[in-house]
Amino acid sequence: MLPLPRPSRAPRGRLQLATGALAGVIAFASGCATAPRAAHSDAAAGTQQGTAGPQTYVPQGADGYHAPPGASASPITDRFALRASFELAAARTFLRLDPTGEPYGGTPLAGEHDLGLARTNPEGRLELMFRMRSRNRMRVDYLELNRAGDATPATPIIFGNAIFAPNQDLHTALDWKVMGFTYTYAFLQTDRFELGAGLGVHLLQASVNANAQTQLASYQTSSAGALPTVALDGAWRISRRFAFTGRAQYFGATIHGLTGSFADYHGDFQYRWRAPFAVGLGYSYTRMNVQAVTGGTLGRLALAVQGPEAFLRISF
């Protein structure tokens, strides 16, 4: 700290009061416009003491940007958020269940065309976000899609270890669940923009059940696993009430005869009409592709779900 000049006439108390007031005015002006050069050692001393105006964004420690008191609430400043979405999902399904010990022995099926699964299906989606300090975020999301369909195939179907004869009423149910845990670190962060990168892990579970009552034949199988992803997450505060958020996650690999990939893309515009509530419209695309050629009973399951969504978001 620079030494203050000794008072010549004014009492010490009045001089210290004037010096503090002058430092506060200079710091306030530097936050509203460009910071002026200190004309006196008194102002320089006040600046080194950390005096800042109420509109100045001051980095604190190694974590970088910290929103000042009174900043507009947005996805960049939220410490906690819960989002419930309603999505009109359009699904595409490819399914092949191989008999035990016979890779590629199952019948390739388009779920919507061959098994009568619904092409569109209303679904719900939940997302939970925690922010640790200012740049570290943890996101947890859950997606569940349950569908059933009836069909009368004109040709025999090899469905795992079961064979369904042609011209039989076949009922099929396909349930799919995904829970994701994603950590991101914001390497770019201002009062309007945030961009982060990180890693995620997704727990997937799928079960298939097919039965033909007239033939007294049925087959049921399920599979579960985990897939990692590389994540990119961003937010843009357009104005005091409007914001845009988006994310992209993907990973694909082949290990010991098992090929798997997972992709999740999302973007939305949201309007915060009153804290802590916001509403918005968005679009999501989620795709999974898993194939096993090791002689097991999985075969291949490829599922893509996409569609517009409306959501309610609660945050603080």
Q: What is the CATH number of the domain that holds 218?
A: 2.40.128.90
Question: What amino acid occupies position 160?
Answer: G
Do residues 179 and 222 both lie within one domain?
A: yes
Do residues 38 and 92 both lie within one domain?
A: no
- Range from 15-29, 87-101, 126-140, 143-157 carrying the lowest mean pLDDT: 15-29
Do residues 111 and 54 both lie within one domain?
A: no
**Stretch 246-251: mean pLDDT:** 97
Is residue 1 in a domain?
no
Asked if 37 contacts 47 with a C-beta cutoff of 8 angstroms, the reply is: no
Question: For the segment 167-181, what is each residue's pLDDT rounded down to a tens digit?
Answer: 989 999 999 999 999
Is residue 6 in a domain?
no
Closest CA to 315 of 202, 235, 232: 235
Do residues 19 and 134 both lie within one domain?
A: no
- pTM for this predicted structure: 0.75
Closest CA to 35 of 65, 16, 69, 58: 58
Do residues 257 and 130 both lie within one domain?
A: yes
Instruction: Give the integer Cα–Cα distance in Å for 244 and 272.
Output: 11
Do residues 44 and 112 both lie within one domain?
A: no
Question: For the segment 42-54, what is each residue's pLDDT rounded down to a tens digit?
Answer: 433 443 444 444 4
Domain hosting 54: range is 12-59
Count how many domains the chain has.
Answer: 2
Positive or negative torsion for Cα 145, 270, 285, 260: negative
Do residues 239 and 114 both lie within one domain?
A: yes
Query: Is residue 285 over pLDDT 80?
Result: yes
Is residue 229 in a domain?
yes
Do residues 177 and 292 both lie within one domain?
A: yes
Is residue 161 in a domain?
yes
Per the prediction, the chain carries an average pLDDT of: 81
Is residue 303 in a domain?
yes
- Range from 126-135, 137-146, 230-239, 292-301 carrying the lowest mean pLDDT: 292-301
Quote the Cα angle for 74-76-80, to 5°: 80
Is the peptide bond preceding residue 108 cis, with omega within 30 degrees of 0?
no
Report the chain's terminal Cα–Cα distance, integer Å. 39
Is residue 91 in a domain?
yes
Give the count of beta carbons closer than 10 Å to the beta carbon of residue 173.
Answer: 16
Do residues 117 and 230 both lie within one domain?
A: yes
Query: Is residue 242 over pLDDT 90?
Result: yes
Is residue 73 in a domain?
no
